Structure 1
Amino acid sequence: MRTTLQINFRGMAVSPALEQLIREKTEKLEKFHPNVTGCRVVVDKPHHHKAQGEHFIVSVDVSVPGANIVANHAHHEDVNVALRDAFLAARRQLEEHSRKLRGDVKSHSLPQAVELAAE
């Protein structure tokens, strides 16, 4: 893995299994977009709310040359689902960034002049 990876856990104990899952998902992002230079993942478990139950909040910040991709606040009761959603959002944003770099974005063509036939 060439990417500098930073993993932070807030409000919960460090989990080696989650760290491994995050490393695997980061490697997949690297394969998809080889210019990823850094990745910061925060897994947050806020205080328990009676009405909402326990939710995990995951944010993924990916650095590539010329941009910083931020996929914030994937909420879910299951930390694995929150991680999946956050990394999917980061991948979609990387895809969009790649399309812009390649020039594959939609552009509107100029309207063509219509000549009216003189009768």
Structure 2
Amino acid sequence: MQVPVQVSFHGCDHSDAIQSLILDRIDKIEAKYGRFTHCRVVVELPHKSPTQGKLFHINIDMGVPGSGDIVHHDRGQNPAHEDVHVALRDAFGAVENQLDKVLTKRRDEQRKAVS
């Protein structure tokens, strides 16, 4: 990675364990998909909702060379996101799906250019 990963915690205490989990996940994604120009992750615990418990919101912004930004903004609708680990799993899964689409598009464009 060209610049260090920025991890922020809003509305909840900083957790070294969660930060370590995030950094490990980013390392695995980078090994699979290549380098990134920037990466910001925000773990947020907004005020308690009157209808649901406290749900974690995970926002991820990654810069991919030649493709712009890969962005995931969690809206906090999934009741399973009361567990930060589940919220992180879902957020990084969504980012990987976006990266798969970008790489598939690149491969298709390269195949068309060669033909």
Q: TM-score, normalised by structure 1?
A: 0.81
Q: Deviations over 1:68-116 (max 9, x none)?
A: 0001106311000000000000011011111111116xxxxxxxxxxxx
> Which has the greater radius of gyration?
1
Moved over 6 A (4+): none
Aligned length: 106
1:64 positional shift: 0.7
Matched, 1:80 2:85: yes
Alignment partner, residue 94 of structure 2: 89
RMSD: 2.0
Partners in 2 of 1:29 and 1:74 — Cα distance?
23
Alignment partner, residue 7 of structure 2: 7
Matched, 1:17 2:14: no
Partners in 1 of 2:7 and 2:100 — Cα distance?
23
Q: Give the letter aligned to residue 62 of structure 2.
A: V
Give 1 or 2: higher strand fraction.
1
Matched, 1:71 2:72: yes
Q: TM-score, normalised by structure 2?
A: 0.83
* Structure 2 runs not aligned, ≥5 long: 110-115
Alignment partner, residue 38 of structure 1: 38
State the structure with bigger RCO (CA 8 A, min sep 6), 1 or 2.
2
Q: Deviations over 1:37-74 (max 9, x none)?
A: 22110100001123111100001111111210001106
* Structure 1 runs not aligned, ≥5 long: 105-119
Give 1 or 2: higher helix fraction.
2
